[in-house]
């Protein structure tokens, strides 16, 4: 099964076509998904960020940048969701939750039952990798379990601890320790949750930083934790968007509104039937 970070695909579509065609998301995202599914010959789920993320309520600086619907507009974003649903693509978009949390919940549900491919470059997902789960991205290419230590300096088991300690500038998560100091502390003390409330017997500079940053460290860990317990507590993955299935009549209405020719057809054109075929199989596999 392929579990796809929808934002990665949508931003690529938007930046490639925003000045060239109208409704770039509705036009391009299905075109980008089709070869991924066709090449893999596998079922797929697409995960999207919800509105009003709880993480921003906890830490207002979290991912302080526009969402794809802010860039492309709600009309194009919503039309894209409807077109994908009409093609049978199973999608998750749960209010207040990130795509990360829905994606992680699906990984925990199917881990060990089958191979899982995570379509993303987000290093947060490296904490989810195993012998049967790996990542495929546009930047790093394929990343497997054994690659994570070379990339980040820790195994997937400790990725959340590393991110909580060293922060993540791209996501607005403040640093408590430098990455090298964080790795040393993880190697000597293990998971942050096991020692965060204790008086650590470590070198004075590190001890002072931990004591001064303990509250921030708790916030950081909550922001980056994609463990089964964490995502379950947040209600991920939630219900699939439109239950993963919309009518083709709805797609044709979108085609009339947007002027996208293939959406005005009486039925999905041949190149897009692959999405519908694998959408049906995905629904059966997830038991929707």
Q: Tens digits of per-residue pLDDT, 238-249?
A: 999 987 778 899
| Mean pLDDT of all residues belonging to the chain | 93
- Look at residue 258 and tell me whether its pLDDT is greater than 80: yes
Task: Note the pLDDT of residue 218.
Answer: 97
CATH class of 2-97+238-286: alpha beta
Task: Note the pLDDT of residue 200.
Answer: 79
Output the pTM of the full model. 0.93
Q: What is the pLDDT of residues 24-34, one digit of tens each?
A: 999 999 999 99
Q: What is the pLDDT of residues 175-210, one digit of tens each?
A: 999 999 999 999 999 999 999 988 877 778 888 899
Mean pLDDT for the stretch of residues 217-235: 97
Residue of 163, 285, 173 whose CA lies nearest to 226: 163
The two domains 2-97+238-286 and 150-226 share their CATH topology (first three levels equal): no
Query: What is the residue extent of each domain of the chain?
Result: 2-97+238-286, 150-226
Q: What band does 95 get if pLDDT is binned at 50, 70 and 90?
A: very high
Superfamily of domain 150-226: 5' to 3' exonuclease, C-terminal subdomain (1.10.150.20)
* Residue 216: φ, ψ to 5°: -65, -40
- Look at residue 126 and tell me whether its pLDDT is greater than 90: yes
Place of tokens 């995202």: 29
Place of tokens 């049967």: 132
Q: What is the pLDDT of residues 277-286, one digit of tens each?
A: 888 889 888 8
Q: What band does 288 get if pLDDT is binned at 50, 70 and 90?
A: low
Mean pLDDT for the stretch of residues 229-243: 92
Q: What band does 226 get if pLDDT is binned at 50, 70 and 90?
A: very high
- Look at residue 50 and tell me whether its pLDDT is greater than 90: yes
Mean pLDDT for the stretch of residues 155-172: 97
Which has more confidence, 285 or 161?
161
Mean pLDDT for the stretch of residues 216-222: 97
Task: Note the pLDDT of residue 286.
Answer: 86
Task: Note the pLDDT of residue 45.
Answer: 95
- Look at residue 43 and tell me whether its pLDDT is greater than 90: no
């Amino acid at each position: 099964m392929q579990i796809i970070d929808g934002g990665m695909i949508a931003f690529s579509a938007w930046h490639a076509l925003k000045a060239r065609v109208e409704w770039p998301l509705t036009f391009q995202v299905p075109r980008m998904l089709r070869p991924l599914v066709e090449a893999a010959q596998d079922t797929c789920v697409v995960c999207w960020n919800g509105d009003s993320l709880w993480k921003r309520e906890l830490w207002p600086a979290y991912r302080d940048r526009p969402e794809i619907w802010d860039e492309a507009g709600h009309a194009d974003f919503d039309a894209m969701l409807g077109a994908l649903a009409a093609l049978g693509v199973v999608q998750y978009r749960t209010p207040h939750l990130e795509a990360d949390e829905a994606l992680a919940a699906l990984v925990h549900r199917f881990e060990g039952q089958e191979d899982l491919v995570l379509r993303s470059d987000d290093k947060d997902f490296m904490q989810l990798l195993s012998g049967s789960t790996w990542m495929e991205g546009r930047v790093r290419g394929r990343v497997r379990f054994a690659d994570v230590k070379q990339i980040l300096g820790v195994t997937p088991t400790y990725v959340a601890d590393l991110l909580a300690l060293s922060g993540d500038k791209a996501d607005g998560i403040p640093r408590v320790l430098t990455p090298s100091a964080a790795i040393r502390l993880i190697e000597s003390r293990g998971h942050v949750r096991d020692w965060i409330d204790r008086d650590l017997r470590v070198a004075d500079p590190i001890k002072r930083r931990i004591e001064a940053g303990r509250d921030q460290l708790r916030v950081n860990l909550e922001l980056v934790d994609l463990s089964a317990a964490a995502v379950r507590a947040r209600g991920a993955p939630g219900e699939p968007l439109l239950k993963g299935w919309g009518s083709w009549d709805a797609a044709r209405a979108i085609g009339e509104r947007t002027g996208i020719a293939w959406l005005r057809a009486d039925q999905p054109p041949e190149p897009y039937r692959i999405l519908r075929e694998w959408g049906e199989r995905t629904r059966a596999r997830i038991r929707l």
